Amino acid sequence: MNFSLSSLSSELTCPTNASMHYTNVNLLLSRPSVRVSCSNKNGDMQVSNRDRRRNVTISCQLIHSHLQDSSDRKERVQVPLHKSDSIRTLLIDNYDSYTYNIYQELSVINGVPPVVIHNDDWTWEELCHYLYEDNAFDNVVISPGPGSPACPGDIGICLQLLLKCWDIPILGVCLGHQALGYVHGAQVVHASEPIHGRLSEIEHNGCQLFNDIPSGRNSGFKVVRYHSLVIDSETLPEELIPIAWTSPTSTLPFIGSVDSDKFSAHETQTEDSIFVDSFLSRVGNGSSILSDCRKTKGSRILMGIKHSSRPHYGVQFHPESVATCHGSQIFKNFREITNDHWLKFRSSYSKQNHAHSYACMQVSSASKLFREVGRSIGSENNAMDQLNRVVSGDRCSVHNNAETNCLETFIKVNANHASTGYKFLKLKWRKFGGLAGKVGGAKSVFCELFGHDTENTFWLDSSSTEKERARFSFMGGRGGPLWKQLIFRLSDQSDGCSKGGGYLSMEDCQGSMKNIFLEDGFLDFFNKELQSFHYDEKDYEGLPFDFHGGYVGYIGYNLKVECGVTSNRHKSKTPDACFFFADNLVAIDHKNDDVYLLAIREGSSSITQWLDDAEKKLLSLNSTVTIESDRQQSYPLSSSSCKVGFVAEKSREQYIEDVKKCLNYIKDGESYELCLTTQIRKPIEELHSLGLYLHLRESNPAPYAAWLNFSKEDLSICCSSPERFLQLDRNGILEAKPIKGTVARGATKEEDEQLKLKLQFSEKDQAENLMIVDLLRNDLGRVCDPGSVHVPHLMDVESYATVHTMVSTIRGKKRSDVSAVECVKAAFPGGSMTGAPKLRSMELLDSLECCSRGIYSGCIGYFSYNQTFDLNIVIRTVVIHEGEASIGAGGAIVALSNPEEEYEEMILKTKAPTKAVMHFD
């Protein structure tokens, strides 16, 4: 970027003596007005991180002297106080993807959830009002984030806060830590090596922030680091005291030993530790897991600082990461630091007013944010999020009549809104125990009931069920009176705003078409549609699965503009969302071999006719399973006259060059991880798409596979995805299962086992996976009860037909005030397909990729009428559209990536779907 990392700007002159605070110091104080354009070191234009944000400039204005500044504040009577039962934190989000991990930690530790704002949401005057007029906060935490504290657009109001608010306890994490050093005159420089998603041992000086935490080598104090820039300890001014360090080359592999409170709220890791040494000789040279673990140098990297006279602290590492040991203790210690500070300086009267104003501020802010329709849950706090902070269970100590009345009114208004035009649905179902195996399995059932005419059919296919990866499959076609089809395309005007809207085409069961423009976008419409359904829970008592009818289809990657991204650079050739409303469907329980028929109707409409017809067809398969199985195999394998192969959007050289650009962005601190992708395409003629899917599911079975056919769009989707994006079950449990880390299967059993171990203990792949796990914890943390987000499985290796993959599982309890679609918006697109921080990473990727991802990188699955859902990540997928087959593939670029190896990994991921298509050529 075009800023000096070795010296402070001339606009910021920092004193070297504590007694000179605030004298002749220039810093931004006026409301931001002009965007500062930042470029990278090569002079290339830097992608704007958030065009929708207020523009930022630095204006010179003399800051008041210490005495002048103090006279503007309320007098603080030094009267001893009892320690507070709760601590109220203002959490400033620097547009990071780990902020809500801090939010979850503080919600539990502080006894009340923090208020989260972006670093440009409030003016300086507004911030001062809440801190000093309303006494609304006890302390402030400054989050990590992309970029540098020297770039105004990256750090926002935080520099002013650190310099001016000398009497407010502040903790800066990563970028916040660098800002603390930078604002007082320390130099922020490139680290000798970018460290992202990797662990280091920490030594500290025993100050209060590290109370009850061990120190030094082999102490067990290992932390996760995500940073490319560091504070140069040689330039640290006298008023800043170093409190923690690490060795420059002391990165460690993750070996399964972490804080149990963050690792699992309700479950424990199945393996407390993984002993690496016994595997080293078998893993080979491909892993770097212990190559640098015990090397040390004389110099040390600064990992923590504190101010000599203010309650200001900073840590370079990430205490909120799932793999950081003793991270929760750091936040507990900061709570105690805050309590001790206010015991000295705050009167009991102002403390009581503080609690009341904090609650009022949250409700007021919630109402304001709710009216701002343009802001999505993916990037902003919505009203329910804010209100939940006031009434988030027993831990919340803020209760008063005013806020309770406000909450009740808000809920009543929304309840009345949701009841408008509601539909009362009735479900009928029949079970046929042990029937699936007798009639040839899921493939035979689908081909008999829906395969004769494949137009407008779907099959959510758990074709890989070993090790209980998946249990149920769902299938159906054009159905009963409630069947309809939704086709949505973003408008061209969607660029440049978070909700540009788009065009929705709806077809009902009789073929009638309706076209409307959705000003607020598809997901807003979809949310209202799902909430219009009313039902009786007794209807599905006894069903072992959560899909009882509802919407089946996909959400394309470009709908990221409805989840916080400002624009799409590339327009999708395929619709941005397509869904069927399935009122008739078949479900198969692969564990018990049971088959279920389900039908839903509105009100008192007749249900039994389709159930009777489907039962008759199903039972008739008993005597014809062999014949039908033979017929299913007879789909032509060479129905295309076009003999050309797949052509990549980018050459090998271009892809490798893009990987290098990603590495430069990572080096400059713009991202921790970038999931770079591309597309390969092949023209086709008259290819039997269902036959292709049947072949793909046989050659590459997957737990989250899918077949979708939208005939009017000339669109078929053949998906063999091994990755779950997000699931919400009837108990309100959200689950994500991101995949990061992939290696090919071996030719022999011995080679296969060696490759699997190499993946398991690869520091690079562990770093990839850990970064996305922390990102998904953050996304779930936005919509889950505080303290409920946990990781029951971290970095498990799963094996498939062509690859081994590293998979983690993240779960949390959905907040009661959040809808199913809001959960999806908080996490879409899946972090494993974007990188972290998510918003900045997607903007960078848009500048590097030369075409739209379309359906690839989006999600396929169902939204049941009772607001449960299960969605995959669209990978390992062939999209057949208007005479062309396309396959997307890519991989996560991290600081340890090798450009040539990244290209080979991308090609590996296309192997199964490409082979399936070429088999038909």
User: Cα angle vertex 770, ends 461, 150, to 5°?
Assistant: 125
Q: Is 911 exposed, middle or buried (0-12, 13-18, 19+ CB in 10 A)?
A: middle
Query: Is pLDDT of 1 > 50?
Result: no
| pTM greater than the 0.85 cutoff | no
Chosen domain end from 313, 342, 371? 342
81 or 522, higher pLDDT = 522
Query: Is pLDDT of 98 > 90?
Result: yes
Give CA–CA dist 802/99, Å, rounded: 37
Give CA–CA dist 806/224, Å, rounded: 19
845 or 39, higher pLDDT = 845
**Residue 131 CB contacts under 8 Å (≥ 6 apart), including other chains:** 90, 137, 165, 168
Quick one: which of 100, 128, 129, 125 has its CA closest to 115?
A: 100
- Assigned token pair, 623: 């005597």
> What is 352-403 written as a DSSP string?
HHHHHHHHHHHHHHHHHHHH-TT--TTTS--HHHHHHHHS-STT-----HHH
Say yes or no: 330 and 430 in one domain: no
Say yes or no: 319 and 431 in one domain: no
Question: Of 320, 507, 798, 843, which is the active-site residue?
Answer: 320
* Mean pLDDT of the region 115-142: 95
Which of 126-140, 317-331, 357-371 bottoms out in mean pLDDT, i.e. has the lowest?
A: 357-371
Say yes or no: 103 and 214 in one domain: yes
Q: What is the pLDDT of residues 87-96, one digit of tens each?
A: 999 999 999 9
- 519: domain CATH number is 3.60.120.10
- Is 881 in contact with 715 (CB distance < 8 Å)? yes
Q: Is the previous residue joined to 829 through a cis bond, with omega within 30 degrees of 0?
A: yes
* Mean pLDDT of the region 388-414: 34
Give the DSSP H or E segment for 772.
helix 763-781
Give CA–CA dist 871/584, Å, rounded: 20
pLDDT at 452: 86
569 or 396, higher pLDDT = 569
* Mean pLDDT of the region 306-319: 97
Reduce the DSSP state of residue 558 to 3 states and report it. helix
Could you tell me where the beta strands, DSSP code E, fall in 160-206? 170-173, 188-201, 203-204
Query: Is pLDDT of 327 > 50?
Result: yes
Q: Is 162 exposed, middle or buried (0-12, 13-18, 19+ CB in 10 A)?
A: buried
Q: What is the pLDDT of residues 834-859, one digit of tens each?
A: 999 999 999 999 999 999 999 999 99
Q: Is 545 exposed, middle or buried (0-12, 13-18, 19+ CB in 10 A)?
A: buried
Q: How close are the terminal C-alpha atoms of the chain, in Å?
A: 49
Query: Is pLDDT of 383 > 80?
Result: no
- Under the banding of pLDDT at 50, 70 and 90, the label for residue 264 is low
Chosen domain end from 342, 374, 403? 342
Residue type, 114: P
* Mean pLDDT of the region 764-776: 93
Say yes or no: 427 and 319 in one domain: no
Query: Is pLDDT of 410 > 60?
Result: no
- Is 683 in contact with 884 (CB distance < 8 Å)? yes
- Under the banding of pLDDT at 50, 70 and 90, the label for residue 422 is confident
Query: Is pLDDT of 779 > 60?
Result: yes
SS (H, E, C) 23-69: CCCECCCCCCCCCCCCECCCCCECCCCCCCCCCCCCCCCECCCHHHH
Q: Is 318 a catalytic residue?
A: yes
Query: Is pLDDT of 381 > 50?
Result: no
Say yes or no: 314 and 427 in one domain: no
Q: Is 908 exposed, middle or buried (0-12, 13-18, 19+ CB in 10 A)?
A: middle
Strand order in the sheet with 251-252: 222-231, 188-201, 251-252
Say yes or no: 455 and 547 in one domain: yes
Q: What is the pLDDT of residues 46-95, one digit of tens each?
A: 444 444 333 332 222 222 233 334 334 444 333 334 456 799 999 999 99
Q: Is the previous residue joined to 837 through a cis bond, with omega within 30 degrees of 0?
A: yes
Give CA–CA dist 130/137, Å, rounded: 7
Say yes or no: 508 and 655 in one domain: yes
Structural domain contains residue 78: no
- Is 726 in contact with 858 (CB distance < 8 Å)? no
Q: What is the pLDDT of residues 456-497, one digit of tens each?
A: 999 999 988 766 778 999 999 998 899 999 999 999 754 444
* Mean pLDDT of the region 544-567: 95
**Residue 271 CB contacts under 8 Å (≥ 6 apart), including other chains:** 256
Could you tell me the sign of the dihedral formed by the alpha carbons of 833, 837, 843, 844, in that order?
Answer: negative
Give CA–CA dist 908/890, Å, rounded: 9
Number of domains in the chain: 2
* Mean pLDDT of the region 263-289: 37
Quick one: which of 175, 147, 139 has its CA closest to 159?
A: 175
Query: Is pLDDT of 504 > 60?
Result: yes
Structural domain contains residue 904: yes
> What is 795-838 written as a DSSP string?
EEEEE-SSEEEEEEEEEEEB-TT--HHHHHHHHPSPGGGTEESH
pLDDT at 248: 79
Could you tell me the sign of the dihedral formed by the alpha carbons of 757, 760, 762, 765, in that order?
Answer: positive
Question: Of 307, 318, 790, 793, which is the active-site residue?
Answer: 318
Give CA–CA dist 95/205, Å, rounded: 31
> What is 262-302 written as a DSSP string?
HH-SSS--S-S----GGGHHHH-TT--TTTTTT---SS-EE
Q: What is the pLDDT of residues 580-600, one digit of tens each?
A: 999 999 999 999 999 999 999
- Assigned token pair, 400: 């008063």
Other Cβ atoms closer than 10 A to 87:
24
Please tell me the total number of residues recorded for the chain in this structure: 921
Structural domain contains residue 21: no
Which of 262-276, 299-313, 479-493, 688-702 bottoms out in mean pLDDT, i.e. has the lowest?
A: 262-276
- Under the banding of pLDDT at 50, 70 and 90, the label for residue 639 is very low
Give CA–CA dist 312/8, Å, rounded: 20
pLDDT at 211: 96
Can you say whether residue 150 is alpha, beta or left, with left for phi > 0 and alpha for psi between -120 and 50 degrees?
Answer: alpha
Give CA–CA dist 12/2, Å, rounded: 17
Structural domain contains residue 914: yes
Which of 258-262, 638-642, 661-665, 760-764 bottoms out in mean pLDDT, i.e. has the lowest?
A: 638-642
Other Cβ atoms closer than 10 A to 360:
18
60 HSE (CA, 13 A, CB side): 8
- Assigned token pair, 25: 């110091």
Q: How many helices (H) and strands (E) does the chain have?
A: 25, 36
Structural domain contains residue 890: yes
Say yes or no: 436 and 326 in one domain: no
Structural domain contains residue 398: no
Q: What is the pLDDT of residues 182-240, one digit of tens each?
A: 999 999 999 998 999 999 999 999 999 999 999 998 899 999 999 999 999 999 999 99
Percent of the chain at pLDDT exceeding 90: 64
Reduce the DSSP state of residue 406 to 3 states and report it. helix
What is residue 921's DSSP assignment? -
pLDDT at 250: 66
Say yes or no: 580 and 715 in one domain: yes
pLDDT at 742: 87
Quick one: which of 363, 591, 355 has its CA closest to 467?
A: 591
Structural domain contains residue 269: no
pLDDT at 682: 92
Give CA–CA dist 635/916, Å, rounded: 13
Quick one: which of 483, 484, 490, 524 has its CA closest to 504?
A: 490
Question: Of 38, 174, 360, 578, which is the active-site residue?
Answer: 174
Residue type, 493: Q
pLDDT at 84: 61
The crossing angle, in degrees rounded to 10, of helices 348-371 and 401-419 is 10
- Under the banding of pLDDT at 50, 70 and 90, the label for residue 162 is very high
**Residue 355 CB contacts under 8 Å (≥ 6 apart), including other chains:** 88, 397, 398
- Assigned token pair, 92: 């400033």
- Is 708 in contact with 797 (CB distance < 8 Å)? no
Say yes or no: 453 and 594 in one domain: yes
Which of 12-21, 315-324, 500-509, 851-860 bottoms out in mean pLDDT, i.e. has the lowest?
A: 12-21
Q: What is the pLDDT of residues 679-717, one digit of tens each?
A: 999 998 878 899 999 999 999 899 999 999 999 999 999
Long-range (24+ apart) CB contacts under 8 A made by 65-69 are 65/22, 65/23, 66/21, 66/22, 66/23, 66/166, 69/22, 69/164, 69/166
Q: Is 174 a catalytic residue?
A: yes
- Is 315 in contact with 249 (CB distance < 8 Å)? no
Query: Is pLDDT of 272 > 90?
Result: no
Beta pairing class for 170-173 and 139-142: parallel
Say yes or no: 240 and 335 in one domain: yes
Structural domain contains residue 651: yes
- Under the banding of pLDDT at 50, 70 and 90, the label for residue 803 is confident
- Is 639 in contact with 920 (CB distance < 8 Å)? yes
What is residue 543's DSSP assignment? -
Reduce the DSSP state of residue 774 to 3 states and report it. helix
Query: Is pLDDT of 812 > 80?
Result: yes
* Mean pLDDT of the region 590-614: 89
Q: What is the pLDDT of residues 723-736, one digit of tens each?
A: 999 999 999 999 99
- Is 759 in contact with 753 (CB distance < 8 Å)? no
Query: Is pLDDT of 547 > 70?
Result: yes
The crossing angle, in degrees rounded to 10, of helices 348-371 and 383-390 is 160
Q: Is 190 a catalytic residue?
A: no
- 129: domain CATH number is 3.40.50.880
Owning domain of residue 96: 89-253+300-342
Chosen domain end from 311, 342, 373? 342
- Is 822 in contact with 783 (CB distance < 8 Å)? yes
User: Cα angle vertex 393, ends 387, 395, to 5°?
Assistant: 105
Say yes or no: 317 and 440 in one domain: no
Quick one: which of 857, 851, 908 has its CA closest to 884?
A: 851
pLDDT at 256: 52
